[in-house]
Structure 1
Amino acid sequence: MPTCHPCRTLVEAGAKLTSHGPTVKDLTLYRSLAGTLQYLTFTRPYISYAAQQICLFMHDPCEQHMHALKQIIHYIPGTTDLSLNLYASSPTTLVTYSDAEWAGYPTTRRFTYGYCVFLGNNLLSWSSKLQLTSSRSIAEAKYRGVANVMAETSWVRNLLQELHCPLTSATLLMRGTDPTPFYAP
């Protein structure tokens, strides 16, 4: 698909992949393209979550999965100028963002969470993950997401201290769309 028209979005808004529907006719093509996307995530980490969602159905893909895979492929040519930039600045603050979606995965009712960690203006770490267990409420899902980002934050703070760049201010934790920050030591 070297001459495909770039797509503006990586995935369709609000789309949930399920295991229902007509199966893909060419399993080898689907698996080959999905594997290629996995390798592409090394240089394009912003497609990691979408590629992971495609690979969940590698054993029995449906036509909707092939459509989602093709949308990712259409998205990539329009992002050749995107990059993660690191800026020279004194690391004064550590800011983290965390959010969770309870029972957002329709087949298993598990929750997903994601976080990102910034040191000044620089993105240091990020993660998006489907949890292995299901939660009883959105509060529990969000609590688990916050616990994971705080574990990552503690690791970053300890690493900076070992590098003789200790942080003197508290870490700011922003949760989802809630504008009220948490402060962590």
Structure 2
Amino acid sequence: MLSCKPSPTPVDTIPKISAATTTPFEDLSLYRSLVRALQYLTFTRLDITYVVQHVCLFMHDLREEHMHALKRILRYLQGTMDFGLHLYSSSTSSLRSYTDADWGGCPDTRRSTSGYCVFLGDNLISWFTKRQPTLSRSSA
């Protein structure tokens, strides 16, 4: 996919990937090989961490839609080769933290995903995302 058209985002935000699609994808070894390589890349490319985790969920029941999502990640990487985790000297030493969560974002389990990131000055020093272990029936 070296000469592919780059994608502006790593994931299509409109339709959610689900296990309920119909057409199976036959080449499991290709899919798993690509996912392993992308998992290794997430150490320095935090922008693809969530979407790589999401395509990993379907390795046991692979469908064409999941392979299309994987190819979209590769197309995104093609257009953002200079992105990555960089540490720079910063004029400020303030510690800032951000957090966010969705509510029932997974179409299969209806579980929420939450996460946080911590910055020291302008440098990202810690991050975390997690799918919640329990199902929430209310946002109150």
Corresponding residue number in structure 1 for 2:134: 133
Gapped regions of structure 1 (runs ≥ 5):
140-185
SS of corresponding position for 1:114: strand
1:121 CA displacement? 1.8
Residues 34-65 of structure 1, C-alpha deviations (whole Å, 9 max, x = no match): 22211222232321111110010000111111
My pick for the range that moved more, 59-68 or 91-100, is 91-100
Listed as ranges, the matches of 1:136-155 within 5 Å are: 136-139=137-140
Q: What does 1:24-63 align with in structure 2 at a 5 Å threshold? A: 24-63=25-64
The answer as to whether partners of 2:44 and 2:84 remain within 8 angstroms in 1 is no
Which amino acid in structure 1 is aligned with residue 3 of structure 2?
T
1:66, CA displacement in angstroms? 0.7
- Whole-Å separation in 1 of the counterparts to 2:95 and 2:132: 25
In structure 2, relative to structure 1, the CA distance for the partners of 1:27 and 1:67 (3 Å cut) is same
Give secondary structure in 2 for the equivalent of 1:96: strand
1:5-154 mapped onto 2 (5 Å cutoff): 5-21=5-21, 22-89=23-90, 92-139=93-140
Higher relative contact order (CA 8 A, sep 6+): 2
- Cα displacement (A) at 1:85: 2.9
RMSD over equivalenced CA pairs, Å: 1.7
Structure 1 pair 7–48 and aligned structure 2 pair: CA distance change class (3 A): same
Q: TM-score, normalised by structure 1?
A: 0.69
Provide the aligned length of Structure 1 versus Structure 2: 139
TM-score by length of 2: 0.89
CA distance in 1, matches of 2:31, 2:121: 41
SS in 1 for 2:25: coil
- CA distance 1:26–1:83, change in 2 (3 Å): closer
DSSP 3-state at the match of 2:3: coil
Partner AA of 1:59 in structure 2: H
Q: Is the CA contact 1:101–1:138 (under 8 Å) kept in the aligned structure 2?
A: no
2:103–2:112 Cα contact (<8 Å) kept: yes
Give the secondary structure class of the aligned counterpart of 1:132: coil
1:16 Cα offset (Å): 1.1
